[in-house]
Amino acid sequence: MRLNPSVGILSLGCPKNLVDSEVMLGLVLEKGFRLAKDVAHADFAILNTCAFVDDARRESVDRLLELIELKRAGHIKYIILAGCLPQRFAAEIEHEAREVDAFLGTGDFPRIVEAIEKLLARERPVLTGHPNYLYDHLTPRVFLTPSYYRYLKISEGCNHRCSFCTIPDIRGQYRSRSFESVIKEARWLGRNGCRELNLIGQDISYYGKDSCGRFRLAELLKEISSIDGIHWIRLLYTYPSHITDELIDCIARSKKVCHYIDLPLQHISGRILKSMRRGITKSKTIELIGKLRRSIPDLAIRTSLIVGYPGETKSDFEELKEFVRESYFERLGVFLFSKEKGTPAAGLSGQVPLKEMRRRFDGLMVLQQNISRENNKKWLGKTIEILIESKVPKAKQVYIGRSYMDAPEVDGEVHVRSKAVLPIGSFKRVRITDTKEYDLVGEAL
């Protein structure tokens, strides 16, 4: 092997995983390892996995099998399986996939260099201890996003014990980063080209409650809003029962905080919400959405829902559809219930057949498709600010961008025609000339 081996990474799952991948790359680069151009030709190939639901596990296993084939063909030397999958299933995988050379759990990302050194010493490390790690502003990172937008993880773990969820077991109890550490990182990012700052955590609305006894997200947003360079601040992954009046007022008044909130609701049936252990009722949910709409009229709400939860009757599902129809969410994702081993929901009676779950999934998605089309029509003829992200290949002065209503990678796009060259990462005012089901079309002014 070369004197300075190369390290590559394939990061699966959510932006929280992506930050963990950036930290691992930062640590190995700091120790003198080279970064491979791609994971398929790395001496050490890291697969940072997601294991939240069935689909995520299947993708993780599929990518692992691809890496194993590359290793057998001699393209890579070692496979390091990291993240949620080994944190939950290290013992099974260690026995069944002998081609995997090292295992790194969610609490052991800072031990990536140690894992590589053990491999060089012909050991097969299994580092899957208690998930209690949380990086800070001094931790090195190799960024995997374009320079104009970054993810800033302000917390890790979760204290909610929702009946269907394994996150507290995979990621540990909730822990907030210090206020000062978050602000220092945000300032550094602002000085180094970040225009859109996406705040992430399993529940960023709980920020500060564990360490200071009070919710501090609004306070944090006010401080970040004063940082030069940062133009947009986006809130991802909030919990409905922790949305305070102070936070709503902060979003409404701030010139930098996007009028966008990721608010996973999961269901609306009071009976289902209680069984899910969501800590909020149907009436409180409706009251919260009404308050958000009144306080921030142009707010874009992204939510996620689960269909096929055990005991979900046709009546419960129709109630959910009516809620979606009335709430007119700007962005909506739907998940099939995933029977997660060890969770209370896995042992409940009334498990919904997969065929019926898929039927309900399709029903909600068709409904939301129509709602999205109607929501987009409201923007026809209006002018909005767009973040320019790429140029359409072989098209004359046509660009792809995002509005404040669109988070990176998960939401819609704005197709922008322009007579002038538009710099990537710049903000431009665009007049909307056409609308589609999920995307907008406009002309740069």
CB distance 99 to 64 below 8 Å: no
Compute the average pLDDT of residues 303-326. 97
CATH number of residue 223's parent domain: 3.80.30.20
Asked if 434 and 380 touch (Cβ cutoff 8 Å), the reply is yes
What is the full DSSP assignment across 217-230? HHHHHHHHHTSTT-
Residue among 49, 35, 44, 120 nearest 75 (CA): 44
Mean pLDDT of 4-24: 95
| pLDDT higher than 90, residue 265 | yes
pLDDT band at 173 (very low <50, low <70, confident <90, very high): very high
Please indicate, yes or no, if residue 176 is contained in any of the structural domains. yes
pLDDT of residue 94: 83
In sequence order, the β-bridge partners of residue 7 are 35, 44
* Residue 1: burial class (beta carbons within 10 Å; 0-12, 13-18, 19+): exposed
Same domain, 226 and 306: yes
**For 341-399, how does the pLDDT look when each residue is reduced to its tens digit (9 = 90+)?**
889 999 999 999 999 999 999 999 999 999 999 999 999 999 999 999 999 988 788 99
pLDDT of residue 232: 98
Same domain, 81 and 162: no
- Residue 126's pLDDT is 94
User: Which band of pLDDT confidence, cut at 50, 70 and 90, is reported for residue 3?
Assistant: low
- Please report the pLDDT score of residue 109 as a whole number: 95
Q: How would residue 240 be classed by pLDDT, with cut points 50, 70 and 90?
A: very high
- Average pLDDT in the 299-319 region? 97
Token couple for 321 = 């559809």
Q: CATH code at 31?
A: 3.40.50.12160
Residue 438 structural domain: 383-444
Percent of the chain with pLDDT over 90: 92
* pLDDT above 90: residue 118: yes
Q: 308 falls in which pLDDT band (50, 70, 90)?
A: very high
Confidence of residue 96 (pLDDT cuts 50, 70, 90): confident
Residues 269, 285, single domain; the answer is: yes
> Which CATH number does the domain housing residue 394 bear?
2.40.50.140
Q: Which residue has the tokens 């069944």?
A: 96
In a domain, 138, yes or no: no
Whether 372 and 423 share a structural domain: no
What totals of helices (H) and strands (E) does the chain contain, helices first?
13, 19
Check whether residue 269 and residue 356 sit in a common domain: yes
Number of domains in the chain: 3
Q: State which of 377, 401, 423 marks the end of a domain.
A: 377
Q: Are residues 355 and 270 in the same domain?
A: yes
Q: Is the pLDDT of residue 95 over 90?
A: no
Q: What pLDDT sits at residue 295?
A: 97
Out of 127, 162, 184, a domain closes at 127
Q: Has residue 17 been placed in a domain? A: yes
Residue 199 lies in a domain: yes
Q: Which residues pair with 80 in a beta bridge?
A: 46, 102
Regarding whether 434 and 286 lie in a shared domain, the answer is no
The total number of residues shown for the chain amounts to 445
Identify whether residues 276 and 422 lie together within a single domain. Answer: no
Domain-ending residue, one of 322, 342, 377: 377
136 assigned to some structural domain: no
What's the mean pLDDT in 107-126?
95
The pLDDT of residue 97 is 85
The torsion angle over the Cα atoms of residues 180, 184, 186 and 191, rounded to 10 degrees, is 160
Mean pLDDT, to the nearest integer, of 11-27? 96
Distance CA 67, CA 101 (A): 12
What the block records as the tokens of 414 is 């704005």
pTM of the predicted model over 0.75 = yes
Q: What is the rounded average pLDDT of the residues 407-413?
A: 94
Same domain, 333 and 189: yes
pLDDT, mean over the chain: 95
User: Are 304 and 224 part of one and the same domain?
Assistant: yes
pLDDT mean over 296-322: 97
140: in domain: no
> If pLDDT is split at 50, 70 and 90, which confidence band does 291 have?
very high
Same domain, 398 and 312: no
Residue 358 resides in a domain = yes
Q: Which helix (H) or strand (E) holds 179?
A: helix 179-191
Q: Are residues 180 and 319 in the same domain?
A: yes
The pLDDT value given to residue 440: 96
Going by C-alpha positions, the residue among 225, 224, 207 that lies closest to residue 216 is 207
The predicted structure's pLDDT at residue 1: 52
Does residue 422 belong to any structural domain of this protein?
yes
- Predicted confidence at residue 294, as pLDDT, reads 97
Helices 354-377 and 314-327 meet at what angle, rounded to 10? 10
- The CA distance from 292 to 436, in Å, is 26
Chain segment 124-141, per-residue pLDDT in tens:
999 999 999 999 999 999
